[in-house]
Structures are given as structure tokens and as C-alpha cells.
């Protein structure tokens, strides 16, 4: 089989895989860029989904390095299809979570209304949150060729330094729970922003509840990327 027809067949298969997951809400909300079919984009869209409204004001270099860029061409389509499948699985397992397909990755947002939450001024993982995180861990184990970023946030109530520490403790509580339950520590990056990255209005009760959140970003690791490039002949 010629290289042209081989690549064409791979692209057609990838297209079929993408179409097969279009009923997934997270995939329906993703555009072609988010599905990985472009070249040379940065991880800025994922950072924006994680840290909120200040991404255009300097961003976060450490997170940018971890998240990296978007894989283009046929390899990007193949990666996008795999990430679409994971996003669909998360939506099925955790219907209350906000699941977004962004660039080559998946961003899952948990707030007080979506299954992972903390008691006031606490950072221990309670029983209800354990059940939700256990389902997410199951997805991580089913799809091992990914890296995971955990980011913690608070609302603006109270002292800013205290909130920064609280968001750090909550983020690490989630990361440590993942590790304790079989997720490799090498897959994990943990970050926190306290009250500095609100997505909602902190002057309202509802807004503050949504700002008290933990984001989990799921990204293709080097193995997935290299295998996709090899399969695509890139």
C-alpha cells in the first residue's frame, strides 16, 4: 500500500472515530482547533480554562511548560479521537462534572455542585467526594497514556494568604488521593491560585460557591503523541 493511501486511510479512520463521539457534550462544544487538527497552537486555551479570567495578563509559565502545544495534522486528529473518547467516559461516569474538550486535552471542573467539594476551611476529601474521585481514577486507569494537572481555587472570602494556602492544600489533597489509589505520581502536576483567578462574581453566594473549585486537566503524554505521529507517518 502506498504511503499516500496509508495516510488517507488513517485520516479517514480518525474522522470516523471523531464523528462517532459527537453525541458527547464536551465534544459537541469543541471546535476543530480544540480537537487537535491544527498546527503550532500553544496550550493557552487550556490554561485559560484552568485559571480563568487573568490568563491574558501574563498567564503561568510553569503550567504552560507542562501543558505544551497542540499536535497538528493526522496525528492531532488521532489524539483528538482518543481524548474525545475519554471525555465521553468522564461525562458518563460523573454526570455532574463540567467536562470540556480544549485543544488536545480535557478540562474537568468540580465545584460545590458537581461532586468534589470541601467543608468550610477544610481540605480533607470527604466521603461524597471520594466516590466522585474514584470514578475519575477509574478513567485514568482505563486511559493510562495521559498526564494530569490538578489546580485549586477559592473564593475571595477571608485573608488572601490564607486562601492561597487553602487552595494549595485542597489541590494536594486531590493529587494525593489519586496517588494513594493507584495513579502514578509521575503523571501528576499540582498547582493552586487561591482567590486570584475567579471565574464568577465573588459578590454573590452562587458565584463564590462556583469559585471554590478544583480543576483537573487531562493531557496526552509523550507516548500517546509519539504513537500517533508514528501511525500517521509524521
| 53 Cβ neighbours under 8 A, 6+ residues apart | 197, 198, 199
CA dist., res. 226 & res. 224, Å (int): 6
Grid coordinates in use for 221?
503524554
CA dist., res. 107 & res. 195, Å (int): 19
63 compared with 225, residue with greater pLDDT: 225
CA dist., res. 222 & res. 147, Å (int): 9
Q: The CATH number of the domain where 194 resides is what?
A: 3.30.1330.60
Residue 212 backbone zone (phi > 0: left; psi -120 to 50: alpha; other: beta): beta
Mean pLDDT along residues 82-110? 94
Number of domains in the chain: 1
Cell 494513594 belongs to which residue? 180
Report the candidate in 29, 1, 25 with the shortest Cα–Cα distance to residue 233: 1
- With H, G, I as helix, E, B as strand and everything else as coil, classify residue 58: coil
Grid coordinates in use for 140?
485514568
CB-based burial label for 170 (10 Å; 0-12, 13-18, 19+) = buried
DSSP element (H, E) containing 173: helix 160-180
Mean pLDDT along residues 72-95? 94
Range of the domain at 199: 3-232
Mean pLDDT along residues 13-20? 48
- The predicted model scores a pTM of 0.81
Q: Using one digit for the tens of pLDDT, what is the confidence trace for 141-195?
A: 999 999 999 999 999 999 999 999 999 999 999 999 999 999 999 999 999 999 9
Q: Using one digit for the tens of pLDDT, what is the confidence trace for 29-54?
A: 553 333 333 323 445 788 888 887 65
176 compared with 113, residue with greater pLDDT: 176
Cell 486531590 belongs to which residue? 174
The conformation of residue 26, written as its DSSP 8-state character, comes to: H
List helix spans (H) across 52-107: 61-67, 73-93
The conformation of residue 44, written as its DSSP 8-state character, comes to: H
Amino acid at each position: 500500500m502506498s504511503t499516500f493511501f496509508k495516510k488517507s486511510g488513517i485520516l479517514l479512520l480518525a474522522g470516523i472515530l471523531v464523528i462517532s463521539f459527537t453525541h458527547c457534550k464536551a465534544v459537541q462544544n469543541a471546535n476543530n482547533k480544540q480537537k487537535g487538527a491544527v498546527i503550532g497552537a500553544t496550550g493557552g486555551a487550556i490554561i485559560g480554562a484552568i485559571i480563568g479570567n487573568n490568563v491574558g495578563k501574563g498567564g503561568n509559565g510553569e503550567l504552560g511548560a507542562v501543558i505544551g502545544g497542540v499536535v497538528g495534522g493526522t496525528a492531532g486528529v488521532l489524539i483528538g479521537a482518543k481524548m474525545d473518547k475519554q471525555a465521553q467516559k468522564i461525562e458518563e461516569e460523573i454526570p455532574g462534572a463540567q467536562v470540556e474538550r480544549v485543544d488536545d486535552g480535557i478540562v474537568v471542573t468540580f465545584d460545590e455542585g458537581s461532586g468534589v467539594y470541601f467543608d468550610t476551611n477544610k481540605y480533607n476529601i470527604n466521603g461524597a467526594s471520594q466516590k466522585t474521585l474514584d470514578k475519575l481514577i477509574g478513567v485514568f486507569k482505563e486511559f493510562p497514556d495521559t498526564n494530569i494537572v490538578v489546580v485549586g481555587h477559592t473564593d475571595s472570602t477571608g485573608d488572601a494568604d490564607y486562601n492561597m494556602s487553602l487552595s494549595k492544600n485542597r489541590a494536594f489533597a486531590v493529587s494525593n488521593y489519586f496517588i494513594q489509589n493507584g495513579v502514578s505520581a509521575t503523571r501528576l502536576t499540582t498547582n493552586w491560585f487561591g482567590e486570584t483567578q475567579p471565574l464568577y462574581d465573588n459578590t454573590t453566594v452562587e458565584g463564590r460557591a462556583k469559585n471554590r473549585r478544583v480543576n483537573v486537566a487531562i493531557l496526552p503524554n509523550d507516548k500517546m503523541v509519539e504513537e500517533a505521529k508514528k501511525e500517521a507517518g509524521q
